[in-house]
């Protein structure tokens, strides 16, 4: 379905839980934040119903995220359920990778190839400082296992932070010489606890300028399936490098997404406080699928031309 600005909205990101097994300093919400009562979190059947109605409204691409999606029991069953919905052409998951390893066989069976794994450092002790958990090895093992099992579309998400991991950008880029993966640098977005940490920000332009020093880097042509990342490759690499400039060069004019929060709110834009609550309709005595479809249409019409400036959100609830 098209929004008021002619954009085709076809991508839904779903936060299946606001719980996470890490507590990354840049991601944890501010003190006012409380975890949702479990009864407020949508069931898998409710999520599947939302996606079915979303398909009627034009959704064909879905990403499951959180919180940490694998922290929710049975999430692979949900993935199987979503893959069975006619009209869903692309399904992916975003995870911190800690619990991923043990689910890889099942994901292989489901032919789910689109796995984004967040990893901000290659140094285990630094991982513990950033995430407050000593778990780097589990994530790294899951990445290398997924590569060796032949998963086709593995991306490592790195939040780029000056003074924290900018000394490792070249090491991350070099991984693409050895592994057929995409390493994606995401500009740090100041919000939540770290809403005032503008000092950490490093622009996509500066990130790539540092990587160019490694040798020949070429910018790649993008296809419509590539999403907002600018793509680059080192000479002779098996993988490539993505740069997501959500802050320095926003891509609102090509934004195609809606977000579904863990408690059933459809959010038209990450940086805006408006949302459409699906839960009352989902939990009404007599559920009307047409009403969910209408609420999708409403959320699409609420999409702003470009993002606002709300910084008071919890990525874990909305779905990063």
* Residues forming the site for ligand SAM (CB under 6 A): 20, 26-27, 65-66, 68, 94-96, 118, 157, 159, 186, 188-189, 191, 315-316, 320
Contact (CB, 8 A) for 132 and 148 = no
Residue 319 CB, nearest distance to ligand SAM (Å)?
7
Round to whole Å and give the CA distance between 141 and 129: 19
Rounded to a whole number of angstroms, the minimum distance from the CB of residue 263 to ligand SAM is 16
Residue closer to ligand SAM (CB basis): 53 or 317: 317
At its nearest, how many Å lie between ligand SAM and the CB of residue 97? Answer: 8
Of 256, 296, 262, the residue nearest 75 (C-alpha): 262
What is the smallest separation between the CB atom of 215 and ligand SAM, expressed in angstroms?
A: 27
Task: Tell me, letter by letter, the H, E, C secondary structure of 270-316.
Answer: CCCCCCEECHHHHCCCCCCHHHHHHHHHHHHHCCCCCCCCCCCCCHH
Whole-Å CA distances, 214 to 173, 177, 210, 235, 239: 9, 12, 8, 10, 15
Least separation in angstroms between CB 212 and ligand SAM: 23
**Minimum distance, C-beta of residue 287 to ligand SAM, in the bound complex (Å):** 29
Nearer to ligand SAM, 239 or 320 (CB): 320
CB 223 within 8 A of CB 229: no
Task: Name the DSSP letter for residue 17.
Answer: -
Task: Measure the CA–CA gap between 48 and 58, rounded to whole angstroms.
Answer: 15
How far is Cα 72 from Cα 136, in angstroms, rounded to an integer?
A: 20
Could you tell me which residues come within 8 angstroms of residue 60 by beta carbon, excluding any fewer than 6 positions away? 10, 87, 88, 89, 90
Q: Quick one: 189 or 231, whose CB is closer to ligand SAM?
A: 189
Q: Which two tokens stand for residue 72?
A: 């929710």
- Of 23 and 83, CB closest to ligand SAM: 23
Q: Which is nearer to ligand SAM, 53 or 116 (CB)?
A: 116
Residue closer to ligand SAM by CB (options 145, 311) is: 311
Of the pair 173, 292, the CB lying nearest ligand SAM is at: 173
Q: How far is the CB of 291 from ligand SAM (least distance, A)?
A: 29
Residue nearest to ligand SAM (CB): 320
b/e per residue 305-317 (b: at least 16 CB within 10 A)? eebeeeeebbbbb
């Amino acid at each position: 379905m098209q929004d008021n600005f002619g954009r085709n909205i076809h991508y839904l990101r779903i936060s299946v839980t606001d719980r996470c097994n890490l507590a990354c300093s840049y991601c944890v919400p501010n003190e006012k934040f409380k975890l949702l009562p479990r009864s407020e979190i949508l069931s898998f059947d409710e999520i599947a119903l939302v996606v079915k109605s979303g398909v009627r409204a034009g959704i064909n691409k879905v990403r499951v995220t959180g919180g940490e999606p694998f922290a929710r029991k049975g999430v692979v069953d949900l993935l199987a359920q979503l893959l069975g919905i006619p009209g869903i052409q692309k399904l992916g998951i975003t995870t911190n990778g800690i619990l991923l390893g043990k689910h890889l066989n099942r994901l292989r069976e489901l032919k789910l190839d689109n796995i984004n794994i967040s990893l901000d450092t290659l140094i285990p002790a630094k991982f513990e400082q950033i995430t407050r958990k000593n778990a780097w090895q589990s994530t790294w093992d899951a990445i290398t296992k997924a590569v060796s099992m032949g998963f086709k579309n593995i991306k490592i998400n790195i939040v780029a932070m000056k003074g924290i991991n900018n000394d490792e950008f070249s090491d991350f880029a070099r991984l693409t010489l050895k592994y057929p993966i995409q390493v994606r640098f995401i500009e740090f977005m100041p919000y939540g606890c770290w809403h005032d940490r503008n000092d950490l920000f490093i622009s996509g332009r500066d990130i790539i300028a540092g990587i160019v020093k490694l040798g020949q880097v070429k910018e790649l042509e993008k296809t419509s399936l590539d999403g907002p990342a600018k793509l680059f490759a080192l000479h002779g690499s098996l993988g490539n490098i993505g740069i997501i400039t959500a802050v320095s060069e926003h891509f609102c004019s090509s934004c195609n997404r809606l977000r579904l929060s863990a408690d059933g709110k459809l959010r038209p834009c990450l940086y805006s406080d408006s949302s459409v609550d699906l839960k009352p309709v989902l939990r009404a005595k007599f559920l009307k699928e047409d009403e969910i479809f209408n609420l999708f249409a409403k959320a699409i019409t609420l999409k702003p031309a470009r993002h606002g400036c709300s910084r008071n959100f919890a990525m874990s609830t909305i779905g990063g």
